[in-house]
Amino acid sequence: MKLKDYYPWVVILLAASMLRLVAPGWDAGIAAHPDERFLLGVAQDTPLWGDPCTVAPGFAYGHLPVYIARLLVLVAPGTDPLFAARLFSGLVGVLIVTLTGALGLSVGGRRAGLCAAAIMAVAPFPIQQAHFYTVDPLGTLLAAFAILFTLRRKWWLSGIFTGLAIACKVSLVWVSIPVWMGAAIYPGSVKDTTSIDSPFIEWWRDQRKRLLHLAGVTLLAFALASPWSLLRPLTAWRGPVIQASMVAGKFDFPYTRQYAGTAPFLYPLVQMALWGLGLAVTFAGGVGITRALWQWRTSAWKVRVALIWTVSYFLLTAGVYVKFPRYLLPIYPIWVTWAVTCLPRTAKLLPTIQAVLFLLTLPLGISQLSLYTQPHPWAAASRWIYANLLPTETVAVEHWDHALPVPLPEGESWLYKAYTLPVFDEESPGKASELRAIAQDTDVIILASRRGYGALSRQPERYAQTLDWYRQLFAERRIITFSRCPHLGPLAITDDPLVDAGLPVSTSLAQRCGTPHALRLPHLDESFRVYDAPLVTLLVR
C-alpha cells in the first residue's frame, strides 16, 4: 500500500485511543469494578510466576493476567497500580480495534477492514471494557490474534496465541476449535491420487505434521503463561470448575440472580443490540453470518474458519444460565466483520450500509464516553452523606453491594454505624422482621446500585416480601438519587431500573439523569451500568 493508504487507519486508531485512554480515574480511584480489585490484589501479593492460588484459593482465571499486573506493580513500585493497569487495558482495546480491521481485511477486503475497525472503535461496550483491567479484553485480544494468524496460515503463531488465550481465561479453550479445524481442512498439500489408502489415512499423512506442531506449541505457550495449572492441577483447576458450575446455573450467587428467567441465546443477542454493538451492527452481523452459512459449500477457506469461530463460540457461550455480556466479547471483532460483509463485495448497496452502520454506532460510543466526564455516583453520594449526616446517625447497605460511603478526603466510612441488609437471604419471617427492625433504626438506607432490587424483581414470587419492603420504603421515605447517564447533549440514553423493578418514584428518568430529555431503553444487563454508572438511591428518614 502507498503511504496515503495508511492515513485512514491512523485516524481510526487515534480515535480509538482517545475513546479508550481518556479518564483512567473515572471512579476517583475507588476501584469500582470488583474484578479489578481482586486481580490487582492477587497480583500485589503473588511473586512473578508464583502460584496465585496460594494467595487466593479457588482463583478462577488463568495466570497470565496476574503476571501482567504483577509486572505493572514492579514497574511502578509504591504507586497505585490501578491507573497503570487501566491504561494497559486501554492499549489492549486499541489493539483489538486494529485486529478487527485485520480480520475484516482478511475476510472482506480493504474497505471491509477499514469499516470494521471504525465501528469497533466507536462501539460502546468495547469502550467500556477498555476502562477496566479485567481478563476479558486481554483474552479477546489473544483470541483475535489466534484467529487472525490461522486465517494467514501462520500455524506456529496461531498455536502460541491459542495457548496464551487459554492461559488468560479457561473458557477461551473454545478458540482452539476454529484453529484446529482450520488447520485440518486447509488444502495446503497435494495428495497422491494414486494412493490406495483410506481417505482418513491420506488426510492424516497430509496434515499430521502441522497438527502435531500446533498442539505442541499451544501446550508450551499455555505451560509457560499458566505454569501452576500443570504443576498443581488440583488447586489450580478448582476455581475454574466452580466458575463453570456457576455459569451452568448449579451454584446460586446474588450477582447471577439477574439471569433468572432469561432466554438462552436470545438474551445475549438483545443485550448486544441494546448496548454492546448497537441494534444495527448486531442485526447486520446476524445477516452476514446467515448468508455465510447459506453459502458454506462455495465459501473460501478463510470464510469457513471465521464462521466456525463465530458459530461455535456463540453456541457454547450464549446458551448457558449466566450470560454476562463480557462472555461474548471475544467474538465482537468477528461479529463486526460479518456486519460489514453482510452483502457480497460487489453489491452496490454495501458501501452505503457500511457507512450507515458506522453512523448509527457512533452516537452510542460518544454517549458512553460522556460518562467519564461526570463524578462517579458512589463518590457523589458519599460526599452528600459526609456533608449531611452526623457521626451519631446510622446507615444501612445491602449485602453483596458496594459499601457506602467510600473513604474520601471529606470523611471516613467508619464514622457511621452501618447495618447490612440481608436482602438476598431466602424469604422467612425472621428475614422480614430483621429488615423492618433495621429500617426503623436506620437514618439512611443506601441502595448503592440496582443489584439488589433489580435481581430480586426478576423472581417476584420468590422474593415477594422483600419487594414489598422495598416499595414501602420508597413510599415512606425521602428519595435522593445520584447517577451519571450516557448522554448526547441534552438527551440521556439508558434504561430505568427503578421503574423496571416496579418501585414507586416521583421523578422522571431525565430528572434522575440530570438532562432535559431521556430515551428510555429496555432492561439492560447490570454489567453495562453497575460499575461505572450505578444509580445510587438514598432513602432518608
Compute CA distances 322 → 70, 209, 259, 335, 424, whole Å: 30, 39, 6, 21, 17
In DSSP terms, which residues pair with 368 in a beta bridge? none
Q: What's the pLDDT at 188?
A: 59
pTM: 0.94
In the predicted structure, residue 78 carries a pLDDT above the cut 80? no
* Tens-place pLDDT, residues 450-507: 999 999 999 999 999 999 999 999 999 999 999 999 999 999 999 999 999 999 998 9
Mean pLDDT for the stretch of residues 71-80: 85
Structural contact between residues 39 and 133, judged by C-beta atoms closer than 8 angstroms: yes
Residue 187: what pLDDT? Answer: 74
Contact 395, 443 (CB under 8 A): yes
Which of 46, 157, 27 minimizes the C-alpha distance to 102? 157
Q: Give the chain's mean pLDDT.
A: 93
Whether a cis peptide bond, with omega within 30° of 0, leads into 405 is yes
pLDDT of 126 reads 98
Write out pLDDT tens, residues 485-501.
999 999 999 999 999 99
Q: In the prediction, which pLDDT does 200 show?
A: 60
State which H helix or E strand residue 447 sits in: strand 444-447
| pLDDT band at residue 360 under the 50/70/90 scheme | very high
Quick one: average pLDDT of 285-293?
Answer: 97
**Each residue's pLDDT tens digit, 99-110:** 999 999 999 999
Task: Note the pLDDT tens digit of each residue in 319-339.
Answer: 999 999 999 999 999 999 999
Predicted confidence (pLDDT) at residue 286 exceeds the cutoff of 90: yes
Q: What distance in Å separates the CA atoms of residue 511 and residue 492, rounded to the nearest whole number?
A: 10
How far is C-alpha 362 from the chain's CA centre? Answer: 19
* pLDDT per position as a tens digit, 368-394: 999 998 999 999 999 999 999 998 899
b/e burial code for range 223-253 (CB count within 10 A of at least 16 → b): eebbbbbeeeeebbeebbeebbebbeeeeee
Q: What are phi and psi of 338, to 5 degrees?
A: -65, -35
Any idea where the domains of the chain sit in the sequence?
3-371, 374-540
Cβ neighbors of 461 (< 8 A, separation 6 or more) are: none
The percentage of the chain sitting over the pLDDT mark of 70, rounded to a whole number, equals 96
pLDDT, tens digit, 9 for 90 and up, residues 389-433: 998 899 999 999 999 999 998 888 888 999 999 999 999 999 999
Phi, psi for residue 401 in degrees, rounded to 5 = -120, 170
pLDDT at 203 over 80: no
Beta strand pairing status for 444-447 and 536-540? antiparallel
- What pLDDT does residue 329 have? 98
Question: Distance from first CA to last CA of the chain, Å, rounded?
Answer: 68
The 10s digit of each residue's pLDDT in 113-155 is: 999 999 999 999 999 999 999 999 999 999 999 999 999 999 9
Instruction: Quote the pLDDT of residue 143.
Output: 98
Bridge partners of 494?
A: 520
Is-contact 417 394, C-beta < 8 A? yes
